[in-house]
Structure 1
Amino acid sequence: MLIQYILQSADMTDIALEARLPVRELARACVNACALAAAELGARRAGLAEVPRIRVDDGAVATAFTSERHLLINGRAPVNFAPLSRFWRTADGWVRTHANYPHHRARLPAALGVPTEDPAAIAAALAERSAVEAEEAVYAAGGLAVALRTPEEWAGHEQGAAVARRPLVERERLDTARARALTPVGASPLLPAAGVRVLDLTRVIAGPVATRTLALLGADVLRVDAPQLPELPDQHADTGFGKRSARLDLAADRCTFDELLASADVVVTGYRPGALDRFGLSPHALAERRPGVVVAQLSAWGAYGPWGERRGFDSLVQAATGIAVTEGSVEKPGVLPAQALDHGTGYLLAAAVLRELTERTEEGHGRCVRLSLARTAHWLLHGIGAAPDAAESVAAGPEPWLAETDSALGRLRYARSPVAFEGGPDDWARPPGVWGTDPARWA
């Protein structure tokens, strides 16, 4: 098959996603990989002689990589970071905390021996500790904090060295199941993932971005959350497009999950490594019960090394890996212009799933793919190359890549998907609903 693609530029993106690191290049590459994988699978399922041409629009990419900032719910902008999610001074440097969720927020002062969530009291407690001491104390208490490190310090860290030795996308065969053919699809619009059932066991941004993309491409995506783990409603509104959302206790209602798994094509997980294994949901266990399944695993730090079972978020990975120092300095850490590790890894995860579906129809086998935010960070720091100088132009706003729709949540303004190819979908089939209110069954 002939593969073609088009790169389109827009005035806005000459300055959007501007950073010292090549964030724009990472964003383009991740979206391009996803669009190409989608177009290839769509061409095979539709019996096309050529793979449709890909359109990678820089404006669409930049807008989508900051989608949570463009979301409006009945005209209200969401809150993306809680007051305790920030950099703090320590006795010898800086530490970055993440406390958006209530349970993480409560554990931060408890770990420091502070009786309240008063920022001044937390700042005083952290100022008396070294950054590494604070990191270890907060993690030991079930909270989230990492010490600011330079790229060189991260490279010398045992976890950083383990991450650097791994490929960007890890692949593994899970079984010897026969090839499972996907039914042919039409071409108006071309939906590469039509009829594919995806169990979405992810939270926050990267995993939901991947499954949101699969939903755009026609997949039946059912997000399943534990009832005792609340989700941030604005976050769900941004990443819930195209999906349904149910709550299910995996321990108490295992029969329902097994019924869902029995006809699933893909299982995407985004919990820390090992967290789902106690429910019998490791990749090999899933493949044993559903031969031929594609399992996609996402983690913050990788499923290996001393941090293999730690929780993490984009902002923490930026701080630990040296990105925050590169974008700022040791004296004043900076941040990327977007949560690019989350968004980029999300599109790469969707691309990997699409590629595995294509190969499964030819070769069979249950398959597992693994990605981590830390490995994407390593790619950004060491693998893409320097960003070109910004062209001189007048910046345009994001409006060409935004849309509005009514939903059960109210009137939504949102960023369109940047994954585009000739004949493909240009928007999701359904807006997000209220988190956890759909039945735990396939449509």
Structure 2
Amino acid sequence: MTDIEYAWSALGGDPALPARITTVEREGALTARLPVRRLARACVGACALAAAELGAVRAGLDRVPAVRVDDGAVATAFASERHLLIDGRAPVSFAPLSRLWRTADGWVRTHANYPHHRARLLTALRLGEDAGAEEVAAALAGRSALEVEDTVYAAGGLAVALRSDEEWAAHPQGAGSAALPLVERERPDTARARVFTPLEGAPLLPAAGLRVLDLTRVLAGPVATRTLALLGADVLRLDAPHLPELADQHADTGFGKRSATLDLAADRARFEELLASADVVVTGYRPGALDRFGLSARALTERRPGLVVAELSAWGRRGPWAGRRGFDSLVQVATGIAVTEGSAREPGALPAQALDHGTGYLLAAAVLRALTEQSYEGGSRVVRLALARTAAWLTGADGRAVPGRAVPSRAVPGERDAAPGERDAAAAYEGPGPWLGGTGGRIGRLRYALPPVAFAGGPGDWARPPVPWGSDEARWT
């Protein structure tokens, strides 16, 4: 089973459809010790195939449009936050206190990009609010990595001790994450089949007319909803007014969306109005964090039968770390990836935040496949993914055993099926240039990575640029 077939199987897709995918392989793209390029190609390919499948259903085609996955486009998109320019200025990816640090017995990785996470880290280390990197380094040098991990977490901050893949496999969370399906899929009820408005004209936009509530934050969730916006969905991102998003990363993942703020406690009626006509809700908070607002998957589908709920977490919803916050960089350190990609002198990292981006495209694919299934089976749908589970796929800790389920195939007249894994001539990846676009908007003049999701007749770019955070009203267009 190829990587694309593995991802497609995890999504419940027809095993015959990956034959519709042609790949352009480029040496030098996403170079790493681990098979990052293969994973990235598979995630994007599965997402594009899911989009093409839904487009065929809605347009009444006899065959699913052909999909083309180019390693150059994939590699560029997987580093989109690095390629973004705003009025010629490069964004800041990581704050000074978000990095690897030496401890008395090893290494620890912290994440302090958000002001509240930085404050909690400094509180845990008993440092003043103005402390810098030198003070943090000194405070960590005399402690064990596991002590730092526990202390910072107890203070509500983010720190993870470096582990090898063997150590992670022996950890209860590591074992639990690897045992999960790559994509958890549930059908909680028997709501009637979804009836789509037929699609006409070009480009083919599989998600046109669908309303998506985006309750996610950096980075995998926004990548997923950015992809749904590319495919025509009306995506409304909602954030708490007191937790502003970092401006640069909001610009990178905000293409095609609108952005509003909403206090779920104070303005619950407005949220319920939005939910009443939503088709999809995507959440990216740690498991259980939204339950007190009535936003668990079960509660949402009970109030809105026929809804698709997509949940994303760092560590998965079971295990001792299920309730912990996490980011791609922390998952890389915990799961052994940083050891594998490092040297005897220091830990390393993947050439991109591949867990975030890969999981984001898989999440979008899971939503698209759920919508397709609803067209002939009905029922609400819940899909769940976790960065740590994607990491288990990358490192081989998962055993590669996810069964698939056949669904009806579609076709485009006059097109032939490619042999599974068919490739165009291999080429070299000589930089992102061919896969960069430019646009202007309310944020400024932007250079950005073009979307890698491509299928015959589909969109090649987003319909509109990102808007400033919280600048729209919390209502549907």
1:28-427 correspondence to structure 2 within 5 Å: 28-115=41-128, 116-329=130-343, 331-382=345-396, 395-427=429-461
Structure 1 contact 26–384 (Cα < 8 Å) conserved = no
Deviation string, structure 1 residues 313-349 (Cα, Å, up to 9, x no partner):
0000000000000001464100000000000000000
Q: Distance in 2 between matches of 1:242 and 1:379?
A: 30
The 3-state SS of whatever aligns with 1:344 is: helix
Q: Distance in 1 between matches of 2:30 and 2:282?
A: 28
Q: Distance in 2 between matches of 1:311 and 1:46?
A: 41
Give the equivalent residue in structure 2 for 1:431.
465
Find out whether 1:440 has 2:440 as its counterpart: no
**C-alpha deviation, 1:8, in angstroms:** 4.0
Question: Aligned AA for 1:427?
Answer: D
Structure 1 contact 245–436 (Cα < 8 Å) conserved = yes
**C-alpha deviation, 1:187, in angstroms:** 4.2
Question: Aligned AA for 2:291?
Answer: D
**C-alpha deviation, 1:205, in angstroms:** 1.0
Q: Distance in 2 between matches of 1:141 and 1:254?
A: 29
Distance change in 2, residues 1:259/1:154 (3 Å): same
Question: Aligned AA for 2:325?
Answer: R
Question: Aligned AA for 1:430?
Answer: R
RMSD (Å), alpha carbons: 1.6
Q: Distance in 2 between matches of 1:300 and 1:417?
A: 24
Query: Bigger CA drift: 393-402 or 157-166?
Result: 393-402
Give the equivalent residue in structure 2 for 1:388.
none
The 3-state SS of whatever aligns with 2:356 is: helix
**Corresponding residue pairs, total:** 436
Structure 1 contact 46–187 (Cα < 8 Å) conserved = no
**C-alpha deviation, 1:197, in angstroms:** 0.6
**C-alpha deviation, 1:414, in angstroms:** 0.4
Query: Bigger CA drift: 241-250 or 321-330?
Result: 321-330
Deviation string, structure 1 residues 97-155 (Cα, Å, up to 9, x no partner):
00000000111111011224221111111111110000000000010000000000000
State the 4+ residue runs in structure 1 displaced beyond 6 angstroms. Answer: none
Q: Distance in 1 between matches of 2:105 and 2:432?
A: 41
Structure 1 contact 250–279 (Cα < 8 Å) conserved = yes
Question: Aligned AA for 1:28?
Answer: R
Q: Distance in 1 between matches of 2:177 and 2:360?
A: 18
Structure 2 contact 21–49 (Cα < 8 Å) conserved = no
**C-alpha deviation, 1:206, in angstroms:** 0.2
Give the equivalent residue in structure 1 for 2:408.
none
How many percent of aligned residue pairs carry the same amino acid? 74
Q: Distance in 2 between matches of 1:356 and 1:348?
A: 12
Q: Distance in 1 between matches of 2:144 and 2:105?
A: 5
Question: Aligned AA for 2:431?
Answer: G
